[in-house]
Structure 1
Amino acid sequence: MSATLRAPPQKIQSTGGRKVSVRLAWWVPLKQQRKIPTMLPIKKLKGSIGRPINLYPLSPVAMTVLALAYIFLTCNETFWSIGADVFSGHPFSFAGFVAAVFFLMLTLSAPFTFPWTVKPFLIFLILLSAITSYYMDSLGVIVDRDMIQNVMVTTITESKHLFTIDLVSHVILFGLFPAVVVACVKIKRFSAVRTIATPILTTALSLALAAGLLMTDLKTYSSIVRERKDYMSSFQPGMPIVGAIRYAKMMMRSANVTVAAIGEDAVKGASYGPGRKPVLTIVVAGETARSQNFSLNGYAVDTNPRLAQLPVTSFHDVTSCGTATATSLPCMFSQFNREDYSFQKGISHQNVLDVIDHAGLHVEWWDNNTGDKGIAARVTQRSLTNTDNAEFCPAGECMDGIFLQQLSDFAQTITQDTVLVLHQIGSHGPTYYLRYPQEAERFAPACRTAEFKNCTSDQITNAYDNTIAYTDTVLAETIEFLTRQHQLSTALIYVSDHGESLGESGLYLHGAPYFMAPEYQTKVPMILWMSPTFKQQFAIDDACLSAKADAPLSQDNLFHSLLGMLDIETDMRNPELDIFETCRNHQKVASN
């Protein structure tokens, strides 16, 4: 004889007529459990992450539509702003275009509208849009393929300055909270046939709607997409997703590449010979220095007081290969010009440092930035970024003055012709105030935070100008040091990798797509100094070079000009791109 367990009586409360089925107490045998209609208050229905809320269950498609609408409305301030300008006076065309973009996004999202994939997918989209919209709407930074490449090759030391309180609060408000809501909402379940058919039908219908809307004014819409690339580049999360796909394809194409040797025919020219002093040429790869803020190039603020007192040549009209280090740095040392350069070509070919090495010169790369990007893979390298030095590295990363401490001992060991590359941290933002000693602050008040919204435009510019003035000090002291090395034949050439935006047209930092990048990001300083001994040995006419100060040049010239400057004979050198070609007395070189 078995006993029957019964649950204690349950209290039924009213919710205004809404019926909710609940199970009896857990100790009632499963076979004897039955469901009874119960009225429970809304307050009793609690949800949490991982446990669905029983209120208002949504189908996967409905949830996707609502999530995309949320992203469109809250994470696309720049997209709406540019669109209002582009479609000014044509609100219906604007509405039609936005609707078409919405349905295109729904088309791309539809394959993920299965009950088991929709939540992770939408949570990813919401968090991604919250992060990228902050950089787009606050700093004007477009997250495209090149920007994703920058992110992938950056270091924690560099990237930590971009994680500000403002960013975190933005992501929590616009990303984390909505993601929690998505995680908690219950998903409606359908039959297997409907579950499989719905994503297919949604894809077809949304694509048809998008196409139909675009066809209503295809000529105008296609013209806008073609001419105003900045418009679609501002759309979140469209551009980041497209950029990520393009980055993945780029990395797949460049996997397992074999590096092709170039310039193996390189030899030293007639400038070298017995009895000559060893040559020391320092190539300074600057960081984020824009030409417009160099007083040597006409800037009204005196940012170059030290270099102005030295016999240097400043080239005023030099264009960069890219707008970010990951592109510009390898490009400027490669044999390819900007139009021909690609990531795959860069990593699959040796560069000018290899050619110089083939010619028999000793080559070293000293880094105070985020690495050599593969440029120095086959030469001697030294990283100074994490040097334990209280004077130049007080915040865990070093200022460029650290190079000067290392140079003294290094110069005493030189017994052969040498090329030394110094990769600066320079003017890298947004923490400009960390790039120079506080006692070297010439322009005040200066912005002393990574959150530009807390600084005025003048404060941001002052902080940036202080970095240029500190670079001026480092370069000047390096030149003065080289002047004292009477046992060597010395020279220095400085070229920045790219420029920087300081709030002009709402843009900050760098990395804008080249097609829309302002000249603040593409015009870079290039400065040359040569000792009298160097000029005599290589028979270089200083006045001839000075006459080229206003000539339009680019980083395309660096590869060929370094070979020409150092009199390295190779078929790789293009005389037309060598700025020294017409300023060298070849007969004098032969007779020296």
Structure 2
Amino acid sequence: MNALAREVGAGAWARSLAHRPEISVEALALVVSGFFTLSFHHAFWRAVIATGALHGAGGWLTGVSLAVSITALNMILLCVLLNRWTAKPVLTVLLLATALAAHFMDQYTVYFDDDMIRNILHTDRKESAELVSLGLIPALFLRGVLPVALLWRLRLKPTPMGRALLVRSVCLGAAIAVAAGGILLSFQNLSALMRNHTEVRHLITPGNYLVSLGRVLLDDGSARKPRTPIGTDARVVARAPASRPRLLVLVVGETLRAQNWGLNGYARQTTPQLAQIDLVNFSDVTACGSSTEVSLPCMFSPYGRGHYDKGRIKHSQSLLHVLEHAGIPTLWRDNQTGCKGVCDGLAFESFEHARDRRLCDREGCLDEVMLRGLADEVGKRPGDMVVVLHQLGSHGPRYYKRYPERLRRYRPACERSELGQCRPSEIVNAYDNAVLYTDEFLARTIHFLAGQTSRDTALIYLSDHGESLGEHGLFLHGVPYAIAPDTQLKVPMIMWMSSGFAAARGIDMQCMKKSANRPSSHDNLFHSVLGLMQVDTREYDPDLDLFQHCSAVPGSTRS
């Protein structure tokens, strides 16, 4: 009898495993739409609650309205994308991609706007690998792999073509009506929310990354046309016959925020070597964007944030091209993922995959690698020259990989990619150690320049954007500019000149130090460099030249 019972049980179990439920494409679309709303919008609801939109007597109605509208909008999307043949492949991609997107939105409050999608598309394998952690595995399995496995167990109900078109039309119309009804249910509150907090729409998934991806692909398709020339009239202002050639090094920092910069009065002295050097520290500097993809092209353009036009900046030549038009050769040395178009067609060296046992491992190189062979490169060009050193800097989330062991001063330091799993003090410790290394790198670069006997030399350091270290639940960077906190927008900037450079340019360094607390921004870089190198062009604006009011020698004949 027991054997018979076991045999019957085994047969029932086998039949249950073999059973594949049947479902229509429309019903599947509705189930998945509800799953998207329930499982992938934790970051969205956190952001909405933080706005206060769900508070008060009508808050519950606004919440219901949002949930209904989001589900209906997802239903509209799936009704357009799915049919009997495309349903499983399309939903497989959407479920896995949305599970990944939701993980990063939940962990780091990532907003999937156009700039973030562009950052993702231009991120290399090493940067992507830093974001892959053990915490990603259960999130991807529970919200992606498992639903996909269940999806492929289903059988899609066959429907004659005529009836399928009728049913799909009815479902699409019903979804549109429900979406409209959901919006009207709390229209006043929803319109105020979307008008005053437009950024929350970038947390509604999968629409956020799909819409942004479409816009980026369209924009990048038009980006292949030649860049519009600027500063073709540029020329170097005549100097005294005995003047020495000038060498300017621009160090573009990565992810270093002003709040942790020792020279700005931070509680920790994270810039001990720079503090021993006679230089100018600009203490109130605002970045053009909260990501490299935005800030780097912007800071090298004449338009900046003051006249910000992403398309115009993207399709125009940069400061480096203007210098080349004036006959000043440039060299971009890169320990990052490229110059984002700033140095297109110009001299470029990448150290991202350099081989140096002392400074590099399989995951990348310390920034010192860019100083290797720099003297030889500079020696090849005897006249004026501008060199850009693009740092890896304090790039997260693996801050602990951005400095050598000798600078592991602040302990314990967070040594994992999942920043939310570390104590706040550990994250700050790792980040501050990375700042210490930037301090050392800049000091070494200045000492190199000070040793150049055949040229007048100068250095400008300016970070591309800042970083959030967990304040208000935010990590990393890339928050839309309109709502980006100061931790992501306020950046350090310093300037050093040899005595010969200052004298030749007639710059009063004491005057510069007195004015260094005035507000400045990335917008000043383009014009300040042209002024330092005395490049005359109609693109030059003396009002944005940080050195103009402290110089006895004009940076341009037009100033």
What's the TM-score, normalizing by structure 1? 0.88
Stretch moving more, 82-91 or 357-366: 82-91
Corresponding position of 2:428: 461
SS of the equivalent of 2:365 reads coil
SS of the equivalent of 1:546 reads helix
1:392-446: CA deviation from partner (whole Å, max 9, x where unpaired): 1134411111123333433444411110000110001111111110111121111
Code of the residue aligned with 1:310 in structure 2: it is I
CA distance in 1, matches of 2:279, 2:484: 29
The partner residue of 2:34 within 56, 69, 74 is 69
1:170-319 → structure 2 map (5 Å cutoff): 170-252=139-221, 254-270=222-238, 272-319=239-286
Contact 1:366 1:382 in 2 (8 A): yes
**Displacement, 1:498?**
0.7
Code of the residue aligned with 2:423 in structure 1: it is T
Point out the structure with the larger helix share: 2
**Displacement, 1:251?**
1.8
1:328-382: CA deviation from partner (whole Å, max 9, x where unpaired): 1111101212254444323321111011111111211101110111211222111
Corresponding position of 2:99: 130
Corresponding position of 1:22: none
Q: 5+ unaligned residues in a row in structure 2: which ranges?
A: 1-5
Corresponding position of 1:533: 500
Code of the residue aligned with 1:80 in structure 2: it is W
Number of equivalenced pairs: 548
Q: Does 1:152 align with 2:121?
A: yes
Q: Does 1:506 align with 2:473?
A: yes
The partner residue of 1:409 within 376, 381, 395 is 376
Code of the residue aligned with 1:258 in structure 2: it is P
CA distance in 2, matches of 1:158, 1:421: 22
**Displacement, 1:566?**
1.1
CA distance in 1, matches of 2:295, 2:556: 33
Corresponding position of 1:54: 20
**Displacement, 1:294?**
0.3
CA distance in 2, matches of 1:154, 1:399: 18
CA distance in 1, matches of 2:46, 2:127: 31
Q: Does 1:430 align with 2:401?
A: no
SS of the equivalent of 1:41 reads helix
Contact 1:290 1:524 in 2 (8 A): yes
Code of the residue aligned with 1:213 in structure 2: it is G
**Displacement, 1:273?**
4.1
CA distance in 2, matches of 1:114, 1:160: 35
Task: Tell me how large the CA RMSD over aligned residues is.
Answer: 2.2
Change (3 A) 1:452 1:43: same
Contact 1:539 1:589 in 2 (8 A): no
Contact 2:124 2:337 in 1 (8 A): yes
1:250-276: CA deviation from partner (whole Å, max 9, x where unpaired): 223x24422221111111113x34332
Contact 2:548 2:554 in 1 (8 A): no
Corresponding position of 2:3: none
Contact 1:278 1:414 in 2 (8 A): no
The partner residue of 2:486 within 519, 535, 546 is 519
1:574-589 → structure 2 map (5 Å cutoff): 574-586=541-553
The partner residue of 1:111 within 80, 103, 122 is 80
SS of the equivalent of 2:482 reads coil
**Displacement, 1:510?**
0.8
Code of the residue aligned with 2:232 in structure 1: it is E
1:336-485 → structure 2 map (5 Å cutoff): 336-338=303-305, 340-485=307-452
Larger Rg: 1
Instruction: Calculate percent identity across the aligned residue pairs.
Output: 36
1:498-555: CA deviation from partner (whole Å, max 9, x where unpaired): 1111001111111111111111111111110011000011111212222221111111
Change (3 A) 1:433 1:587: closer
CA distance in 2, matches of 1:371, 1:213: 46
Change (3 A) 1:536 1:589: farther
Change (3 A) 1:427 1:588: closer
Corresponding position of 1:26: none
Contact 1:330 1:375 in 2 (8 A): yes
Q: 5+ unaligned residues in a row in structure 1: which ranges?
A: 1-12, 17-39, 48-52
Code of the residue aligned with 2:250 in structure 1: it is V
Contact 2:535 2:556 in 1 (8 A): no
Corresponding position of 1:327: 294
1:53-91: CA deviation from partner (whole Å, max 9, x where unpaired): 533x11111111111212221221122233345212321
CA distance in 2, matches of 1:587, 1:76: 56
**Displacement, 1:580?**
1.6
Stretch moving more, 405-414 or 128-137: 405-414
CA distance in 1, matches of 2:554, 2:255: 40
Corresponding position of 1:161: 130
Code of the residue aligned with 2:289 in structure 1: it is G
Corresponding position of 2:47: 82
SS of the equivalent of 2:483 reads coil
**Displacement, 1:236?**
2.0
CA distance in 2, matches of 1:545, 1:194: 77
CA distance in 1, matches of 2:323, 2:227: 17
**Displacement, 1:45?**
4.6
Contact 2:458 2:501 in 1 (8 A): yes
SS of the equivalent of 1:547 reads helix
Contact 1:322 1:328 in 2 (8 A): yes
**Displacement, 1:124?**
2.2
What's the TM-score, normalizing by structure 2? 0.94
The partner residue of 1:96 within 55, 61, 65 is 65
1:103-143: CA deviation from partner (whole Å, max 9, x where unpaired): 12212221234212222222222112100011100111112
Corresponding position of 2:520: 553
Change (3 A) 1:535 1:255: closer
